């Protein structure tokens, strides 16, 4: 790592101790526990558990609502990525191109980052409220009677809108910093080689943004999976009923509401594997970024 | 204008040739401004509506919908939200929740920075057996967000008797290694020669950390602090599970409570709910706005 | 080149010349402290030092060198020759796998860098970016527990000597390359070490500043009479600075000697090619039948030295010792075809071929470029003979 390091002593262990203890207590132990209980059927009343092998996995994934939830998670994730990345890219390109007012625009567009997902959810609830929400009014004006919280489809649309909206600032910041990282000489060379600004963007600038885009894609998928919990929880007002939920929300529901410890754990483990795969992809990309720069 | 024109350009041809290019450029600029104004409306519009509506009487909101103009009841609404007791115990006020949020944000940010700096220092600057094992164990935490292991985490904290305690609230959130990773990257970018020069100058591990490494990391620490404060402030799921004692509620956690009260109310206190939302977003938003440059640096650097 | 063959005598002579000149300046304390002339023990002894990395790579293969009192020794060699590793072993920044290093008679193999009584200038200076120049200079003394008044006095003294008094309260980032270089040297001076270590300290400067700082380093070291090791890959720096040069190659010493000696009598083809610019012409040749041949041609100006066994050799000829003359003017010589001329200002280089080998010669630019059929001439005394296989001097 470093050419020269301090020699062996007890100091590094002391320095690592706080983090390792916390990791052991609040990460390794719970993760191990999740893995263990995913193979057991636990009786919530008597506390005794029987080993059931992969039954929990089979049972929970073959349930109809699991499939529905997985399907929604996929739609939810793809929609967030497309909407949020698309709008953020357009805004970043414009913010990078304007000559005046660059920084006020930048400030106005990024500060929403600071808003907590549940707060965004609350604002969403208001905006889409059947009686008072301006967005519902707008939909009604278009001839669409939105019933968020009642209609599966309408709720899904509202959740996607709010979740994608909340993620725009992050994508905007990264796209803009990626655009600003493109050397000016390269743009000038492109301007000499190619007349059309649009063509220049798609053939020179966008490929140079590819590492940023891939990276953001991973970030957005992670966001859609995990960080939208607050948005969903608030928009459903804690009452999922017949409404769409993501897989992560379902882990929470089955575990805390349904008291189905084994099933919830099995779903956790499946998600763990998904995150693991995603992280590997992410690290591959980071490595590549490092090699390029 | 002609005096300022490029002396190298052929004088008669220049204006004729330059005009269409300039016009195209101006058109492009206008287009970019339109896109950006649309973006600002998209991002800031809901906030404006939220704030304005919070200054109206709930009856007006109930009958006429959310408002864009100022309703004149700013002081009453915010005074009620900040000072009047609410919740089941009737003792929880907006001020208390804000204070709890500050504690959570600070505790989370400071705890994370301290712990991860120490760990990263050990990993980068010391040669010792099990160094890579320690690194991989810490690294593994990146694989599993708290949301996925929420139930077993809850049980562990319960078994340790840490429910409704600040340590039980903060420590599990700190377990993730994002900041450790970041400091590791940063320490590795510091030239080796600084350590060598310091060793020749007689600095041991403690001195090197205090005299050289910590001062060099100052801006990085500040950037991480800002990000982590916002992340800590915005925690929702874990506080919602962990804290059943209302005196520990944070303002973001309080959102959940509002909704519970809301359901079934005849005319809900829209104004108060919206005021609470404004109060919940204002402090982190201010931090981000005031330290904008550092915040962007921190965000772009940590996520890398 | 005024350097004599005897390094010690040279150092003494220079010291004698410099001492009166520096006396009025304000360095008496440091100079006195640095010259405990009583002991005859060399300042530094490197005795059979070996550096082997855990992965099996060997960077230094048994090097033995002594650095005398007040002597400036330059380690020179191409990158990867082990010169920096050797320096870092002396500094205590690399472990010593085998052998022993003694500083002022004390074995330091297991001694911490801070305890070795050395000071080091790094290639990138390694100034602490968050500290002012003053704090940078004082940091090592502070860690040793030197009292404040003493630190202030030493910092002021070093600053005066290096003419950096005006920058004492600036941060390194506000300084130019040359000023940073001075601060790095100041950090060494305040420590009063018995040995200075320089790790390519001039490589980050532009050519002009490099020449200037080179001279300053030389003067300063003479004035302080502190022994020094200077690592560089630049043979001009090595020649101009050194009392003695150590040419390293593949982790081994190729030759140790005064610059003039290394230049005049390179111990191997490696040294011959490395020291001197443009590099020495090295031409494969054969000793047979009492004559020296290059390819099929007999070399008329070189009778083989007495007692040299017949066989293949490498013939060495410095460009500045070779002369290209029109055949019409002087008989004999090797026929020479001129390919290109490079003007260097005071001199010019003539690139061409003689007897099938590429040859470079240097000539005074004041003379006209020779025309017509040409021939290469050289004084037999200027020829170097090396073993064709091992490259060692014959």
At C68, the pLDDT band (50, 70, 90 cuts) reads: very high
Q: Where are the domains of chain C?
A: 7-271, 278-387
The CA distances from residue B183 to A86, B223, C25, in Å, are: 32, 12, 48
Closest CA to C11 of C72, C66, C75, C65: C72
Region of B67 (left: φ > 0; alpha: ψ -120 to 50; beta: rest) is beta
Evaluate if residue B248 carries a pLDDT over 80.
yes
Answer yes or no: do B144 and A219 touch at CB < 8 A: no
What is the structure's pLDDT at A289?
52
Q: What is the pLDDT of residues C92-103, one digit of tens each?
A: 988 899 999 999
Q: Compute the distance between CA of residue A270 and CA of residue A3 in angstroms, rounded to an integer.
A: 41
Q: Compute the distance between CA of residue C86 and CA of residue C105 in angstroms, rounded to an integer.
A: 18
Highest mean pLDDT among B13-22, B203-212, B292-301: B203-212
List the beta bridge partners of residue C246: C75, C256
CA-based nearest residue in chain C for residue B217? C130
Around Cβ A51, how many Cβ atoms within 10 Å? Answer: 9
CB C254 within 8 A of CB C247: yes
Chain C contact for A4 (CB, 8 A cutoff):
yes
Instruction: Evaluate the omega torsion of the peptide bond into residue C46 and state whether it is cis, within 30 degrees of 0.
Output: no
Closest CA to C220 of C280, C288, C163: C163
What is the structure's pLDDT at B92?
79
**What topology does CATH give the domain C7-271?**
Rossmann fold (3.40.50)
What is the structure's pLDDT at A46?
60
Mapped onto helix, strand or coil, the DSSP state of residue C96 is: coil
Q: What is the pLDDT of residues A56-87, one digit of tens each?
A: 888 888 888 899 999 999 999 999 999 999 99
CA angle B242, B244, B245 (to 5 degrees): 115
What is the structure's pLDDT at B303?
59
Tell me which of C388 and B265 has the higher pLDDT: C388
CB C362 within 8 A of CB C319: yes
At A220, the pLDDT band (50, 70, 90 cuts) reads: very high
Q: What is the pLDDT of residues C137-157, one digit of tens each?
A: 999 999 988 999 999 999 999
E-assigned strands of C37-157?
44-52, 58-67, 72-76, 98-103, 106-107, 118-121
CB B286 within 8 A of CB B62: no
Chain B closest CA to C86's CA: distance in Å?
15
Q: Compute the distance between CA of residue C236 and CA of residue C242 in angstroms, rounded to an integer.
A: 10
CATH number of the domain that residue A107 is part of? 1.10.3720.10
The subunits that touch chain C, with at least 3 C-beta pairs less than 8 Å apart, are: A, B
Chain B contact for C113 (CB, 8 A cutoff):
yes
Q: Compute the distance between CA of residue A208 and CA of residue A215 in angstroms, rounded to an integer.
A: 13
Evaluate if residue C168 carries a pLDDT over 80.
yes
Around Cβ C61, how many Cβ atoms within 10 Å? Answer: 16
Closest CA to C123 of C93, C143, C103, C165: C93
A4 vs C contacts (CB less than 8 Å): 93-94
What is the structure's pLDDT at B296?
87
Cβ neighbours of residue C104 closer than 8 Å, sequence gap 6 or more: C39, C41, C43, C117, C194
List the beta bridge partners of residue C293: C286, C298
A15 inside domain: no
Evaluate if residue A43 carries a pLDDT over 70.
no
Closest CA to B59 of B268, B276, B249, B297: B268
Evaluate if residue C6 carries a pLDDT over 80.
no
The CA distances from residue C187 to B74, C117, C157, C240, in Å, are: 63, 13, 12, 24
Q: Compute the distance between CA of residue A155 and CA of residue A124 in angstroms, rounded to an integer.
A: 11
Tell me which of C30 and C52 has the higher pLDDT: C52
Evaluate if residue A177 carries a pLDDT over 80.
yes
Chain B closest CA to C154's CA: distance in Å?
15
Answer yes or no: do B148 and A248 touch at CB < 8 A: yes
Q: Where are the domains of chain B?
A: 22-73, 76-300
A9 inside domain: no
Evaluate if residue C158 carries a pLDDT over 90.
yes
Evaluate if residue B262 carries a pLDDT over 90.
no
At C160, the pLDDT band (50, 70, 90 cuts) reads: very high
Chain A closest CA to C104's CA: distance in Å?
25
Using CB atoms, pick whichever of B196, B201, B203 lies closest to residue C93.
B196
Q: What is the pLDDT of residues C277-288, one digit of tens each?
A: 889 999 998 887
Q: Compute the distance between CA of residue C219 and CA of residue A187 in angstroms, rounded to an integer.
A: 50
ipTM score: 0.88
Cβ neighbours of residue C115 closer than 8 Å, sequence gap 6 or more: B202, C108
Chain C contact for B218 (CB, 8 A cutoff):
yes
Answer yes or no: do C143 and B203 touch at CB < 8 A: yes
Chain C closest CA to A4's CA: distance in Å?
7
> What percent of chain B shows pLDDT beyond 90?
39
Evaluate if residue A241 carries a pLDDT over 50.
yes
What is the structure's pLDDT at B147?
80
Chain A contact for B53 (CB, 8 A cutoff):
yes
Q: How many CB pairs under 8 A join A and C?
A: 3
How much is the CA Rg of chain A, to the nearest whole Å?
24
In C, residues 19-38, which contact B (CB 8 Å cutoff)?
A: none
Chain C contact for B199 (CB, 8 A cutoff):
yes
CA-based nearest residue in chain A for residue B44? A108
At C371, the pLDDT band (50, 70, 90 cuts) reads: confident
Mapped onto helix, strand or coil, the DSSP state of residue B201 is: coil
A287 vs B contacts (CB less than 8 Å): none
The CA distances from residue B85 to B94, B244, B247, B283, in Å, are: 8, 17, 11, 21
What is the structure's pLDDT at C190?
93
Q: How many domains is chain A built from?
A: 1
Average pLDDT over residues B111-121: 94
Q: What is the pLDDT of residues C69-80, one digit of tens each?
A: 999 999 999 998
- Residue A204 DSSP label: I
B197 vs C contacts (CB less than 8 Å): 120, 122, 126-128, 187
CB A223 within 8 A of CB A229: no
Chain A contact for B122 (CB, 8 A cutoff):
yes
Q: What is the dihedral of CA C194, C197, C202, C204, to 10 degrees?
A: -130
Tell me which of B16 and B100 has the higher pLDDT: B100
| pTM as predicted | 0.81
Answer yes or no: do A123 and B46 touch at CB < 8 A: yes
Question: Across chain B, what does the average pLDDT equal?
Answer: 85
Mapped onto helix, strand or coil, the DSSP state of residue C227 is: strand
Evaluate if residue C208 carries a pLDDT over 50.
yes
Least confident of A32-46, B231-245, C329-343: A32-46
Average pLDDT over residues B274-284: 93
Domain range holding A279? 36-289
Average pLDDT over residues B202-224: 91
Domain covering B76-300 in this structure, CATH number: 1.10.3720.10
Chain C closest CA to A173's CA: distance in Å?
29
CA-based nearest residue in chain A for residue B279? A119
φ and ψ at A171, to 5 degrees? -60, -40
Q: Compute the distance between CA of residue C2 and CA of residue C240 in angstroms, rounded to an integer.
A: 10
A205 inside domain: yes
Evaluate if residue B89 carries a pLDDT over 80.
no
What is the structure's pLDDT at B4?
40
What is the structure's pLDDT at A237?
80
Q: Compute the distance between CA of residue C359 and CA of residue A200 in angstroms, rounded to an integer.
A: 53
At A51, the pLDDT band (50, 70, 90 cuts) reads: confident
What is the structure's pLDDT at A291?
39
CA-based nearest residue in chain A for residue C93? A4
Q: What is the pLDDT of residues A142-176, one digit of tens each?
A: 988 888 888 899 999 999 999 999 999 999 999 99
A26 inside domain: no
Q: What is the pLDDT of residues B11-58, one digit of tens each?
A: 444 444 456 667 878 888 999 999 999 999 999 999 999 999 999 988
A178 inside domain: yes
What is the structure's pLDDT at B12?
43
Q: Compute the distance between CA of residue B48 and CA of residue B45 in angstroms, rounded to an integer.
A: 5
Residue range C278-387 forms a domain whose CATH class is: mainly beta
Evaluate if residue C385 carries a pLDDT over 60.
yes
Average pLDDT over residues A104-118: 93
Q: What is the pLDDT of residues C308-317, one digit of tens each?
A: 778 888 999 9
Least confident of A39-48, A49-58, A84-93, B66-75: A39-48
Evaluate if residue A189 carries a pLDDT over 90.
no
Give the residue from A1, A2, A4, A9 with the most C CB atoms within 10 Å of its CB, the best one to mutate.
A4
A245 inside domain: yes
Chain C contact for B197 (CB, 8 A cutoff):
yes
Sheet holding C383-387, edge to edge: C297-298, C291-294, C281-288, C311-317, C383-387
Region of C298 (left: φ > 0; alpha: ψ -120 to 50; beta: rest) is beta
Least confident of A35-49, C46-60, C69-83, C284-298: A35-49
Query: Residue C90: is it exposed, middle or buried by C-beta count within 10 angstroms (0-12/13-18/19+)?
Result: buried
φ and ψ at A28, to 5 degrees? -65, -45
List the beta bridge partners of residue C196: C119, C228
Q: Compute the distance between CA of residue C212 and CA of residue B57 in angstroms, rounded to an integer.
A: 80
Evaluate if residue C23 carries a pLDDT over 70.
no
CB C333 within 8 A of CB C377: yes
Chain B closest CA to C190's CA: distance in Å?
11
Evaluate if residue C87 carries a pLDDT over 80.
yes
Give the residue from A118, A141, A221 with the most B CB atoms within 10 Å of its CB, the best one to mutate.
A118
At C297, the pLDDT band (50, 70, 90 cuts) reads: confident
Highest mean pLDDT among A54-68, B9-23, B64-78, C225-239: C225-239
CB C320 within 8 A of CB C306: no
Using CB atoms, pick whichever of B191, B203, B215 lies closest to residue C124.
B191
Chain B closest CA to C91's CA: distance in Å?
8
Around Cβ C145, how many Cβ atoms within 10 Å? Answer: 7
Highest mean pLDDT among A234-238, C204-208, C235-239: C235-239
C94 vs A contacts (CB less than 8 Å): 4
A28 inside domain: no
What is the structure's pLDDT at C88?
92
Q: Compute the distance between CA of residue A227 and CA of residue B146 in angstroms, rounded to an integer.
A: 10
List the beta bridge partners of residue C45: C66, C102
A20 inside domain: no
Chain A closest CA to B200's CA: distance in Å?
12
């Amino acid at each position: 790592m470093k050419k020269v390091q301090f020699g062996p002593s007890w100091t590094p262990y002391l320095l690592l101790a706080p983090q390792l203890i916390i990791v052991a207590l609040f990460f390794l132990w719970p993760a191990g526990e999740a893995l263990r209980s995913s193979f057991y059927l636990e009786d919530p009343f008597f506390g005794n558990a029987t080993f059931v092998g992969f039954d929990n996995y089979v049972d929970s994934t073959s349930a109809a609502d699991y499939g529905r939830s997985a399907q929604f998670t996929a739609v939810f994730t793809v929609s967030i990525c497309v909407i949020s990345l698309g709008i953020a890219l357009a805004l970043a390109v414009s913010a990078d191109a304007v000559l005046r007012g660059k920084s006020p625009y930048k400030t106005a567009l990024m500060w929403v980052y600071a808003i907590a997902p549940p707060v965004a959810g609350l604002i969403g609830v208001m905006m889409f409220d059947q009686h008072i929400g301006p967005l519902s009014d707008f939909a009604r004006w278009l001839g669409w009677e939105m019933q968020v919280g009642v209609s599966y489809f309408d709720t899904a649309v509202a959740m996607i809108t709010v979740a994608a909206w909340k993620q725009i600032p992050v994508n905007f910041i990264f796209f803009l910093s990626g655009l600003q990282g493109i050397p000016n000489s390269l743009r000038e060379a492109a301007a000499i080689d190619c007349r059309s600004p649009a063509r220049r963007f798609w053939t020179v600038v966008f490929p140079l943004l590819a590492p940023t885009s891939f990276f953001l894609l991973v970030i957005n998928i992670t966001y859609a999976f995990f960080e939208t919990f607050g948005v969903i929880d608030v928009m459903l007002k804690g009452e999922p009923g017949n409404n769409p939920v993501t897989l992560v929300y379902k882990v929470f529901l089955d575990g805390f509401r349904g008291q189905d410890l084994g099933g919830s754990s099995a779903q956790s483990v499946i998600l763990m594997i998904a995150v693991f795969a995603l992280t590997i992809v992410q690290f591959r990309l980071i490595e590549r970024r490092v090699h390029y720069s | 204008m002609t005096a300022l024109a490029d002396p190298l350009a052929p004088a008669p041809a220049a204006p004729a040739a330059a005009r269409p290019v300039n016009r195209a450029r101006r058109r492009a600029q206008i287009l970019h401004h339109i896109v950006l104004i649309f973006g600002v409306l998209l991002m800031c519009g809901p906030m404006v509506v939220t704030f304005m509506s919070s200054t109206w009487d709930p009856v007006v909101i109930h009958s006429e919908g959310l408002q864009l103009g100022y309703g004149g009841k700013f002081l009453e609404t915010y005074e009620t939200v900040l000072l009047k007791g609410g919740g089941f115990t009737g003792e929880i006020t907006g001020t208390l929740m804000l204070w709890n949020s500050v504690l959570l944000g600070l505790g989370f940010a400071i705890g994370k920075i301290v712990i991860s700096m120490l760990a990263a220092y050990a990993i980068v600057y010391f040669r010792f057996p099990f160094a890579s094992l320690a690194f991989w164990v810490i690294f593994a935490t990146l694989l599993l967000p708290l949301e996925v292991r929420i139930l077993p985490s809850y049980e562990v904290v319960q078994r340790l008797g840490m429910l409704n305690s600040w340590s039980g609230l903060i420590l599990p959130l700190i377990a993730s290694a994002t900041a450790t990773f970041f400091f590791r990257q940063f320490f590795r970018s510091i030239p080796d020669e600084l350590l060598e020069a310091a060793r020749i100058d007689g600095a041991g591990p403690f001195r090197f950390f205090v005299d050289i490494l910590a001062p060099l990391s100052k801006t990085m620490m500040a950037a991480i602090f800002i990000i982590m404060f916002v992340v800590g402030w915005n925690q929702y799921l874990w506080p919602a599970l962990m804290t059943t004692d209302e005196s520990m509620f944070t303002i973001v956690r309080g959102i959940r409570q509002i909704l519970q009260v809301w359901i079934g109310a005849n005319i809900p206190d829209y104004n108060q709910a919206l005021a609470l939302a404004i109060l919940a977003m204002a402090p982190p938003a201010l931090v981000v706005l005031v330290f904008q440059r550092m915040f962007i640096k921190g965000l772009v650097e940590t996520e890398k | 080149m005024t350097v004599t063959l005897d390094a010690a005598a040279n150092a003494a002579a220079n010291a004698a010349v410099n001492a009166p000149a520096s006396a009025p300046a304000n360095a008496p304390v440091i100079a006195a402290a640095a010259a405990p002339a009583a002991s005859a023990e060399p300042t530094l002894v490197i005795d059979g030092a070996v550096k082997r990395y855990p992965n099996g790579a060997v960077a230094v293969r048994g090097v033995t060198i002594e650095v005398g009192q007040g002597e400036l020794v330059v380690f020179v060699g191409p990158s990867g020759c082990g010169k920096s590793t050797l320096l870092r072993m002396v500094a205590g920044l690399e472990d010593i796998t085998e052998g022993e290093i003694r500083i002022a008679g004390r074995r330091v193999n297991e001694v911490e860098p801070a305890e070795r009584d050395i000071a080091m200038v790094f290639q990138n200076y390694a100034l602490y970016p968050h500290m002012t120049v003053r704090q940078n200079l004082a940091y090592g003394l502070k860690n040793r527990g030197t009292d404040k008044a003493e630190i202030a006095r030493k910092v002021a003294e070093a600053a005066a000597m290096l003419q950096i008094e005006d920058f004492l309260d600036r941060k390194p980032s506000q300084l130019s390359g040359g000023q940073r270089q001075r601060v790095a040297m100041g950090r060494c001076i305040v420590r009063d070490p018995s040995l200075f270590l320089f790790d390519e300290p001039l490589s980050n400067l532009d050519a002009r500043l490099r020449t200037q700082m080179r001279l300053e380093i030389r003067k300063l070291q003479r004035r302080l009479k502190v022994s020094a090791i200077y690592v560089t890959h630049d043979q001009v720096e090595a020649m101009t600075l050194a009392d003695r040069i150590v040419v390293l190659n593949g982790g081994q010493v190729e030759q140790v000697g005064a610059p003039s000696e290394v230049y005049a009598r390179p111990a191997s083809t490696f040294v011959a090619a490395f020291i001197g610019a443009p590099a020495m012409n090295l031409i494969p040749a054969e000793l047979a039948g009492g004559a020296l041949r290059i390819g099929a041609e007999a070399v008329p100006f070189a009778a083989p030295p007495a007692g040299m066994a017949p066989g293949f050799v490498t013939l060495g000829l410095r460009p500045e010792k070779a002369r290209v003359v029109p055949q019409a003017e002087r008989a004999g010589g090797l026929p020479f075809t001129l390919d290109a001329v490079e003007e260097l200002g005071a001199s010019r280089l003539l690139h061409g071929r003689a007897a099938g080998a590429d040859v470079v010669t240097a000539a005074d630019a004041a003379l006209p470029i020779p025309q017509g059929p040409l021939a290469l001439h050289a004084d037999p005394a200027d020829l170097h003979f090396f073993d064709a296989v091992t490259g060692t001097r014959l």
